[in-house]
Chains A and B, each alone.
Chain A
Amino acid sequence: MVNKADAVVIGGGVIGNSIAYYLAKYGVDTLLIERKDLAAGTSGACDGFIFLQSKKPGFDLRLALESTRLYENLADELSYDIEYRKCGGMILIETEEQLKAIIELVDGQRKTGLDVKLMRIPQELEPILSGHIIGATHSPLDAQVNPFKVVLGFAQGAKRKGAQILTHMEVQAIRTRTVRGELKVDSVITERGEIKTNTVINAAGVHAPVIAKMVGLDLPIIPRRGQVLVTEPLPDLVTSLLVDAEYITLKLAPDHRGTDGLGLGFTLEQTASGNLLIGSTREFVGYDRRTTYHGIKAITQNVLRIAPALKEVNIIRSFAGLRPYTPDGLPILGKLRGVEGFIVAAGHEGDGIALAPITGKLIAELVVKGKPSISLDEFGLERFK
């Protein structure tokens, strides 16, 4: 095994692999370490939404817009089919009250540069929608990917550019040394030996606090379970990504837990394979990745309210992923004060897939140039203090 690297990335999900890819692209000698397998955690248990309309107007949306631009050419760049499709997306409106709130949101998003409009008869575009839905927003920029393939594509791309990826290997400790009174990253200890490095990037998602603790730092990231249902494959039925207004409320107010503690918000996409992925819950239940009868029933009731015609469609599976929640719903990105060479890129909650390319690119710029092309100041850990 190698015993040194310019940069060690911890975490083999979509964020870690994206960072490894962009670092390798800049010529950085990069090593990625993953405890289990690629996409074995959150990135392998989510939907493929690249949904711009749920982003807060301002720097959150700006980052997502940049990420979308990177996604447009990513399949070509990686020579890997990530099942990217610019399918457009809708927020479904069921009451006059929702309509008022959504009009305000759309205004803010337009000012940040998002192409989004209000539709009065969304059933014209998506005939599956129930007649009681009185309107919807629509943005042609919303897109979808296959999350597994994004992870594997970045991993393959990183390897081609010289990065090493070691899976089924656990990080046991991170050693630091003191240089002129300041702590600096010195090496990463694994079960197969020590790797000398000056730069460690913590992209361990819901496990990022465990890694940060190894250098004595605390991260306010906790797992939040999202249950999702999978239908049998169907002929083309739905083009757009669909969410309901409650989903947006949950996204924009991270502490909102919904009326029944499930944090239920409606999401639906049809994947390239024809399956519908129907979500989802947002529950604080520790690291429990099981799905529940209560959750499955609630998600099914929700989808049959939005699209009653689906009642005869078969559910073939449920799954749950743990989203890395932060108190304000935004990721923690950048250097951490107190330990030189220790960088965090975690806490994307449900936006890991959408923000992966831009996260990887900016973190790589931070490592290589010391300063990313888009400021990450707003995403610093300091904002919680």
Chain B
Amino acid sequence: MDDEVIICRCEEVTKGEILKAIEQGAKTITGIKIRTRAGMGLCQGRTCGRLIARLLAERTAQVLEEIPPATVRPPVRATKMENLVTSHGE
């Protein structure tokens, strides 16, 4: 995979930028996120999360299955504010 390949489409973060973040000490998906914005866009890392986990596993000698996913916080998908105030329950 070329370094110019875009891994996070929402925030247009390339593979090269993610590898640089790993070099700078990121060991988790959240660590990549704070250094590159990968996973901070509209889809909240749903697309790029697995790709980033794979890069982390390759470069930091971690087992892929043991890399925790990024923290999930509501809303589950983008939600208009007017719908957040009229919805009911958890």
Residues of A whose CB lies within 8 Å of any CB of B are 37-40, 44, 148, 152, 165, 167-168, 232-233, 273, 290-291, 293, 296-297, 300-301, 303-304, 310-320
Contacts and interface: CB of A to CB of B under 8 A. Distances in A.
Contact of B82 (A40, A168, A291, A311): A311
A297 B44 contact: no
Contact of B73 (A303, A304, A318): A318
23 contacts: A37-B26, A37-B34, A38-B25, A44-B34, A148-B35, A167-B25, A291-B73, A291-B74, A293-B89, A296-B74, A296-B75, A297-B87, A300-B85, A301-B85, A312-B82, A314-B79, A316-B41, A316-B42, A317-B73, A317-B75, A318-B73, A318-B75, A320-B73
A273 B37 contact: yes
Contacts of B90: 293
A316 B41 CA distance: 8
Nearest to A320: B73
A236 to B, nearest CB: 19
B54 interface: no
B61 interface: no
Contact of A316 (B24, B27, B78): B78
Given A315-B79, A317-B44, 8 more contacts: A37-B34, A38-B34, A232-B78, A296-B74, A304-B82, A311-B80, A314-B78, A320-B73
B1 interface: no
A151 B45 CA distance: 23
B16 interface: no
Contacts, number: 82
Contacts of B87: 297
Interface residues of B, number: 28
B11 to A, nearest CB: 8
Contacts of B42: 232, 316
A304 B85 CA distance: 9
Nearest to A301: B85
Nearest to B75: A315
A300 B74 contact: no
A34 to B, nearest CB: 10
Contact of A296 (B27, B34, B37, B84): B84
B80 A314 contact: yes
A37 B25 contact: yes
A354 to B, nearest CB: 19
Contacts of A290: 73
B43 to A, nearest CB: 9
A316 B46 CA distance: 12
Given A300-B84, A316-B42, A319-B73, A37 B28 contact: yes
Which 5 A-B pairs have CB atoms at the shortest separation, nearest pair first? A311-B82, A314-B78, A300-B84, A293-B90, A148-B34
B30 A37 contact: yes
Contact of A313 (B37, B71, B80): B80
A279 to B, nearest CB: 14
Interface in B39-54: 40-42, 44
B7 to A, nearest CB: 17
A219 to B, nearest CB: 27
A38 B30 CA distance: 11
A231 to B, nearest CB: 8
B18 to A, nearest CB: 15
Contacts of A318: 73-75
